[in-house]
Amino acid sequence: MDLLLPGRFADPVTASGYFRTVFDQVASGERSATISITPSTRHVGVTRRDTFRPGFRDAVRTANEEGYPVLVRSSGGGATAADTGTFGFSIIRPVQEELGRGIPERYDEAAALVLGAFSRVGLRDAEVGEVRDEFCPGDHSVRVGGWEGGMKLCGIAQRVTRRATSVGGIVLVEGEEELARILARFYAALQLPFRPGSVGSARRAGNGAPVESFIEAFAAEAEDRYDAKRVPLDDETVALARQNGSAHLV
């Protein structure tokens, strides 16, 4: 399995296009199964379903007013927000490697990767479980604290096509107060429940390691779990990412 660590992209459009491009490359057989770990750029990510909700245009306007472009992502779930204090990861496989595996197994796999990486940086209180009125609700969130008053440190979502699958999410290391403020405005415009205190971070959980240390912990965990090998990101993929991302900017 390949391990891609491309670093932070200059803009959210390229960052969004990068994931789609790598997914397509794996689906077409141009690239082998891949784990990607990428520092975030500032944006709000929504699903196709979100774009049909009442108030969506108002939600986009509020995000844009705060300097957060809105991008439509391919996976399920709900609206998310990211900035320099967060990073994303994804495990992408061609469908022929997924025989006998389904949605629950992929969720479990991603959650185990998160918890294993967290343990490497000394964050051992995290567990799998939903948090009340959280962003992008899901029972495979990674949280600290219980359902009622806990906080979310990572959300996990999937994409499944006839040729490939992906599972991954956004990890919150720091900057949660700003993200909670943006998400509160966005969810209010969508007329959906949201509790600002549900937005957590490793820093809020008492862990002072920087984003770079968490990314390296995820990389080390991937190397151990999958015998993943680090590979460089080629210029052709970056060029394709720029093209593919622009189509999904709202």
Cα–Cα distances in angstroms (integers) from residue 240 to residues 93, 126, 186, in the given order: 20, 37, 30
pLDDT tens-digit map of 179-194: 999 999 999 999 999 9
pLDDT for residue 68 is more than 80:
yes
Q: Would you state the pLDDT for residue 9?
A: 94
Count of other CB atoms within 10 angstroms of residue 192:
18
pLDDT tens-digit map of 73-128: 888 789 999 999 999 999 999 999 998 899 999 999 999 999 999 999 999 999 99
Separation CA 140–CA 29 (nearest Å): 29
Q: Once rounded to an integer, what is the mean pLDDT over residues 136-149? A: 94
Q: Would you state the pLDDT for residue 77?
A: 85
pLDDT for residue 247 is more than 90:
no
Sign of the alpha-carbon torsion through 185, 191, 192, 193: positive
Q: Would you state the pLDDT for residue 40?
A: 97
pLDDT for residue 240 is more than 80:
yes
For residue 177, is it left (φ>0), alpha (ψ between -120 and 50) or beta? alpha
pTM recorded for the entire structure:
0.94
Q: Would you state the pLDDT for residue 248?
A: 78
Q: Would you state the pLDDT for residue 250?
A: 82
- Report strand pairing: 80-82 vs 151-160: unpaired
Q: Would you state the pLDDT for residue 126?
A: 97
- As assigned by CATH, the class of the 2-246 domain is alpha beta
72 Cβ neighbours under 8 A, 6+ residues apart? 45, 46, 47, 48, 50, 51, 248, 250
pLDDT tens-digit map of 22-56: 999 999 999 999 999 999 999 999 999 999 999 99
pLDDT tens-digit map of 157-175: 999 999 999 999 999 999 9
Find tokens 């809020």 and name the residue: 204
Percent of the chain with pLDDT over 70: 100
CB 198 within 8 A of CB 135: yes
What's the alpha-carbon Rg for the chain, to the nearest Å?
Answer: 17
Mean pLDDT, the chain, rounded, equals: 95
Q: List the domain boundaries for the chain.
A: 2-246
Question: 181, 220, 186: which is closest to 199 by C-alpha?
Answer: 181
CA 99 from centroid of its chain's CA atoms = 24
Q: Long-range contacts of range 181-185, CB-CB < 8 Å, 24 or more positions apart?
A: 182/44, 182/63, 182/66, 182/68, 182/81, 183/44, 183/79, 183/80, 183/81, 183/135, 185/59, 185/62, 185/63, 185/66
